[in-house]
């Protein structure tokens, strides 16, 4: 075994691609401000590195879901706007004050709570109104009620809503929600408006208003899947081959004997599993990729179930020599992105990246 053999899977995150994606979307959405959504540890990719990279290309506004996520960003960047989507509650109100976080107010109850508990030097707030997603946010009746209590909106900084079907440019909900948004905003004071996230950014400028909230697209996900992906790939995942063996005709592989060799096969054992975030639903359907020294790509089907630390794949049809013990297998790359892996796993790229494991050796390219 002279070849260098590793056992730890490798997650590479290309910060240059994140920055290029930001620049691309900034041009696309101009003159709207492009803010960044970095909740859940920047979709699992590392909030410190992502926020720093985006700050360096001029991003000034960051969104998180929870207040403690916002506090973490404030430690990195003293002079940006940090907006917290989940809004203030009894165990986070102090964080809003200490870290100068901007609250999103999603219900009349929450507005009342904020009014009663905010400090004198509190930041102005963002109002989240629902336009058809029917998730979190003020409903039409709430807005009508507020429109007759305009003194409660003296500190209003921005009005936002969120699109339900913006990844489908032909969906009737898009125009419906956009019209609703414009109409409901007309009942409220004239402040900044924001409707679109990454997917809305591709729907045309009438969806961009004053600010677009960019998340998934920054990280390479195709949020406009009705056309070729315009984003640079950000993520690559590799894991080493631990062993190569023949699986004789009629024998089984992995838990539940879920794969059976109908002819004698050659299998490679790879050092990555669902504990690292490879979804179990890729059993018998996922792909692993190998590259030879001439940059030829070869595909190998995942055989049997995904284990916590290991997968096996079928390399029978790959020329001998390409795959050896120690060879790095690729699970996500420029050709087979997290969108592809998500689709094959019956889910979305968003879930794939948000649920990657902690055991990777993480390398940031910049």
Does residue 198 touch a copy of itself according to CB under 8 A?
no
Least Å distance, CB 295 to a copy of itself, is 25
Does residue 242 touch a copy of itself according to CB under 8 A?
yes
Does residue 317 touch a copy of itself according to CB under 8 A?
no
Least Å distance, CB 79 to a copy of itself, is 26
| Cis status of the peptide bond prior to 133, with omega within 30 of 0 | no
Candidates 29, 360, 49; CA nearest to 200 is: 29
DSSP state of 85: T
Candidates 44, 77, 73; CA nearest to 58 is: 77
Task: State the DSSP H helix or E strand holding residue 328, giving kind and residue range, or none if neither.
Answer: strand 328-332
Half-sphere exposure in the Cβ direction for 332 (13 Å, CA): 31
Binds a copy of itself by CB under 8 A, chosen from 230, 284, 291, 325: 325
Least Å distance, CB 71 to a copy of itself, is 12
Binding to a copy of itself in span 212-241, by CB under 8 A: 240
Binds a copy of itself by CB under 8 A, chosen from 74, 118, 145, 171: 171
Cα gap 220→215, rounded to integer Å: 9
DSSP alpha helix (H) spans, 137-227: 140-146, 172-185
Binding to a copy of itself in span 245-274, by CB under 8 A: 245, 247, 251-257, 267, 269, 271, 274
Which lies closer to a copy of itself via its Cβ, residue 20 or residue 324? 324
Residue indicated by tokens 């997603």: 133
Structure tokens at 210: 């004053």
Binding to a copy of itself in span 65-94, by CB under 8 A: 65-69, 85-87, 89-92
**Rg over CA atoms, the chain:** 24
Angle between helical axes of 47-56 and 15-29 (0-180°, round to 10): 50
Write down the catalytic residue from 39, 193, 209, 274. Answer: 39
Binding to a copy of itself in span 275-304, by CB under 8 A: 275, 277, 279-281
Structure tokens at 253: 């592989």
**Known catalytic residue: 136?**
no
**Known catalytic residue: 358?**
no
Least Å distance, CB 346 to a copy of itself, is 7
Binds a copy of itself by CB under 8 A, chosen from 19, 26, 39, 213: 39
Cα gap 150→232, rounded to integer Å: 44
Which lies closer to a copy of itself via its Cβ, residue 26 or residue 85? 85
As annotated, the active-site residues are 39, 255
């Amino acid at each position: 075994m002279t070849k260098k053999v590793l056992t730890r899977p490798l997650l590479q995150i290309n910060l240059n691609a994140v920055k290029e994606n930001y620049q691309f979307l900034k041009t696309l959405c101009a003159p709207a401000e492009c803010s960044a959504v970095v909740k859940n540890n920047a979709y699992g990719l590392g909030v410190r590195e992502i926020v720093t990279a985006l700050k360096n290309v001029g991003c000034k506004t960051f969104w998180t879901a929870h207040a403690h996520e916002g506090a973490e960003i404030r430690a990195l960047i003293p002079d940006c706007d940090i907006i917290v989507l989940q809004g203030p509650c009894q165990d986070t109100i102090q964080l809003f004050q200490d870290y100068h976080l901007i609250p999103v107010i999603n219900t009349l109850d929450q507005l009342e709570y904020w009014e009663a508990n905010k400090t004198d030097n509190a930041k102005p707030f963002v109002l989240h109104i629902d336009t058809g997603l029917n998730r979190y946010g003020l409903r039409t009746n709430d807005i009508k009620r507020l429109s007759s209590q305009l003194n409660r909106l003296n500190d209003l900084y921005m009005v936002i809503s969120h699109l339900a079907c913006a990844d489908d440019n032909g969906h009737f909900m898009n125009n419906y929600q956009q019209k609703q948004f414009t109409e409901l905003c007309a009942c409220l004071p004239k402040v900044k408006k924001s409707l679109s996230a990454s997917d809305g950014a591709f729907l045309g400028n009438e969806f961009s208003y004053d600010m677009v909230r960019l998340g998934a697209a920054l990280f390479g996900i195709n949020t406009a899947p009705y056309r070729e992906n315009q984003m640079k790939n950000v993520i690559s995942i590799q894991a080493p081959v631990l062993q190569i063996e023949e699986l004789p005709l009629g024998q089984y592989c992995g838990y539940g004997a879920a794969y059976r060799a109908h002819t004698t096969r050659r299998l490679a054992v790879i050092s990555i599993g669902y504990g690292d975030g490879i979804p179990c639903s890729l059993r018998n359907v996922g792909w692993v990729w190998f590259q030879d020294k001439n940059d030829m790509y070869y595909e190998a089907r995942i055989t049997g179930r995904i284990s916590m630390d290991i997968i096996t794949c079928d390399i029978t049809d790959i020329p001998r020599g390409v795959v050896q013990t120690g060879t790095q297998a690729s699970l996500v790359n420029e050709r087979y992105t997290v969108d592809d892996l998500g689709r094959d796993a019956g889910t979305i790229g968003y879930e794939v990246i948000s649920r990657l494991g902690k055991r990777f050796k993480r390398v940031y390219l910049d």
